[in-house]
Chain A
Amino acid sequence: AQSVAQPEDQVNVAEGNPLTVKCTYSVSGNPYLFWYVQYPNRGLQFLLKYITGDNLVKGSYGFEAEFNKSQTSFHLKKPSALVSDSALYFCAVRGGNQGGKLIFGQGTELSVKP
């Protein structure tokens, strides 16, 4: 069965420092991987996706993610965190024989302190 794991419920970072939000996945066949961000009482906002090709993908607001097939990981990164990056981040996967549905992780709360 397909699944996504976000091993950290919360990540704390000082403003200006690099940040990493971890994601690992399990899917049969080629994965299509996505990162979304959710601000309080709001829907999900698309950040970036990996389909094929270059393992480092760049997305909105300076975020990027690194796909690692051998480790089945898709970690979200940003070189320099902003206080405004504080939000809930979700990793999601499509693929295998699961059709078009997105399988989401449990989410990681990112807190960036000044």
Chain B
Amino acid sequence: DAGVTQSPTHLIKTRGQQVTLRCSPKSGHDTVSWYQQALGQGPQFIFQYYEEEERQRGNFPDRFSGHQFPNYSSELNVNALLLGDSALYLCASSLGGALYTEAFFGQGTRLTVV
């Protein structure tokens, strides 16, 4: 079982650019969530996708958008990058929408905005 895989592992972008991060969920999982983890902080929820729809969104601006594909993989897009967007971006997958199911996380994408 491959677990949750994210690509790329590291990325350096310039302010104002756009970036796309990718995530493949754990086998059998149909729900994907994205989190932003700034240095020294806990992960912050960005949004969750289920059945190709955004089901829930955290307090992030519209510059952050996403997509889920029929095979349940997902992308996170960030437009007009700011220095403050530099962080570890984590993808988590789970099965269905039950609140008691644990989420499995990928290794993350380290985004540096310069």
Contacts and interface: CB of A to CB of B under 8 A. Distances in A.
A42 B94 CA distance: 19
Contacts of A105: 42
A94 B99 contact: yes
Interface in A95-114: 95, 99-107
A43 B4 contact: yes
B43 A44 contact: yes
A102 B41 contact: no
Contacts, number: 67
The secondary-structure label for the interface of chain A is strand
A44 B102 CA distance: 12
A81 to B, nearest CB: 22
Nearest to A99: B56
Size category of the A interface is 20 to 34
Contacts of A45: 105
Contact of A102 (B100, B103, B106, B110): B103
Contacts of B103: 34, 46, 102
B81 to A, nearest CB: 21
Interface of B: 4, 6, 31, 33, 35, 40-45, 48, 55-56, 58, 90, 92, 94, 97, 99-100, 102-108, 110
Interface of A: 4, 32, 34, 36, 41-46, 49, 51, 90, 92, 94-95, 99-107
